């Protein structure tokens, strides 16, 4: 054994529950309003200097679903957050680009977002691969236990406080996982990987997450228990607390945190790895 050096939840209950739900709905609507304001004022840093238009649409999802898929194969990311309701809310945030604002506004009618066969997807006019005519991102609220299949081509994927079976893939965008659990498989091709663990241990089968081109940031609670695997092929590693590794340190290594437990794997091929404790 040898150490890797340190470098850097009656009536009162009902009222409280109603208040919490109202607060969640308020945060969601505020979030959509903020997005519209930013979009209409061109504060997204796009290279596009022509006309543009913005719109938020609610995508109908039947009650009682226990799994959700989003095909974000066009341009745009997906953010999924848990709430204390037995329903799913999906906001599709649409931005169109054209030679004038009037043309961009008309083009909003050419973009269609719907749930078909259990999958939410957007369709619209074909555009240039480097400068799209339209972008759809998704802000999704789901029950705390939900199976997810989220795939994007040009946009990030973020999941917060959800437990379930998950397949998360992005081709050009980052992955951010905060307080998730279950059987989670996550892949990024070009983008960073951020994992924030919560609680005392991983709840579920485990996490298998990796990125090909991007750094890894892993935040671990102080008394967390897991069997952690991490590493990089081309990049540096840093941890801000002492850890003990069994055997030799190579491109990947496994260590036991606390009493051990479910496997938690977060690795990269090209990028650094930072492990932090909170």
pLDDT at 30: 55
Please report which confidence band the pLDDT of residue 126 belongs to, taking 50, 70 and 90 as the band edges.
Answer: confident
pLDDT at 53: 94
- Averaged pLDDT, 267-272: 96
Report whether pLDDT(1) > 90: no
* Residue 140, CA distances (Å) to 61, 91, 249, 278 in order: 11, 6, 40, 28
Please report which confidence band the pLDDT of residue 137 belongs to, taking 50, 70 and 90 as the band edges.
Answer: very high
Tell me the pLDDT tens digit for each residue of 56-112: 999 999 888 999 999 987 789 999 999 999 999 999 999 998 989 999 999 999 999
Report whether pLDDT(9) > 50: no
Q: What count of other Cβ atoms lies within 10 Å of the Cβ of residue 200?
A: 14
* Per-domain boundaries in the chain: 2-8+10-277
Cα Rg of the chain (Å, integer): 21
Cβ atoms of residues 212 and 234 within 8 Å = no
Q: Greater confidence, 118 or 178? A: 178
- Averaged pLDDT, 165-180: 97
Question: 252: which strand partners?
Answer: 231
Tell me the pLDDT tens digit for each residue of 22-65: 334 444 545 888 988 888 887 655 566 788 899 999 999 988 89
Query: For residue 96, what is the enclosing H or E element?
Result: strand 89-98
Please report which confidence band the pLDDT of residue 278 belongs to, taking 50, 70 and 90 as the band edges.
Answer: confident
Q: What count of other Cβ atoms lies within 10 Å of the Cβ of residue 135?
A: 26
**φ, ψ of residue 216 in degrees (nearest 5):** -120, 130
For residue 182, give every residue at least 6 positions away whose Cβ sits within 8 Å of its Cβ, in sequence order, or none: 147, 162, 163, 164, 165, 166, 203, 204, 205
Rounded to an integer, what is the distance from CA 171 to the centroid of its chain? 13
Q: Greater confidence, 105 or 253? A: 105
Tell me the pLDDT tens digit for each residue of 208-249: 999 999 999 999 999 999 999 999 999 998 888 776 665 455
């Amino acid at each position: 054994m040898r150490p890797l050096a340190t470098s850097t939840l009656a009536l009162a209950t009902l009222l409280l529950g109603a208040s919490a739900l109202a607060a969640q709905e308020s945060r969601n609507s505020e979030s959509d309003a903020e997005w519209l304001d930013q979009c209409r004022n061109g504060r997204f840093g796009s290279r596009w200097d022509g006309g543009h238009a913005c719109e938020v649409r609610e995508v109908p999802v039947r009650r009682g679903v226990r799994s959700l898929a989003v095909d974000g194969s066009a341009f745009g990311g997906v953010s999924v957050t848990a709430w204390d309701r037995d329903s799913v809310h999906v906001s599709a945030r649409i931005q169109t680009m054209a030679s004038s604002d009037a043309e961009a506004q008309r083009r909003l009618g050419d973009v269609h977002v719907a749930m078909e066969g259990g999958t939410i997807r957007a369709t619209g006019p074909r555009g240039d691969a480097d400068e799209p005519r339209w972008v759809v991102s998704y802000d999704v609220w789901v029950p705390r236990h939900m199976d997810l299949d989220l795939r994007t081509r040009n946009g990030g994927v973020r999941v917060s406080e959800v437990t379930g079976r998950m397949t998360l893939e992005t081709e050009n965008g980052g992955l951010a996982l905060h307080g998730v659990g279950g059987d989670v498989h996550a892949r990024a091709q070009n983008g960073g990987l951020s994992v924030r663990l919560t609680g005392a241990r991983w709840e579920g089968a485990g996490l298998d997450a990796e990125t090909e081109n991007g750094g890894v940031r892993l935040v671990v609670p102080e008394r967390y228990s897991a069997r952690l695997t991490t590493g990089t092929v081309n990049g540096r590693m840093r941890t801000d607390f002492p850890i003990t590794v069994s055997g030799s340190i190579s491109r990947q290594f496994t260590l036991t945190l606390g009493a051990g437990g479910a496997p938690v794997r977060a690795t990269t091929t090209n990028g650094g790895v930072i492990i932090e404790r909170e």
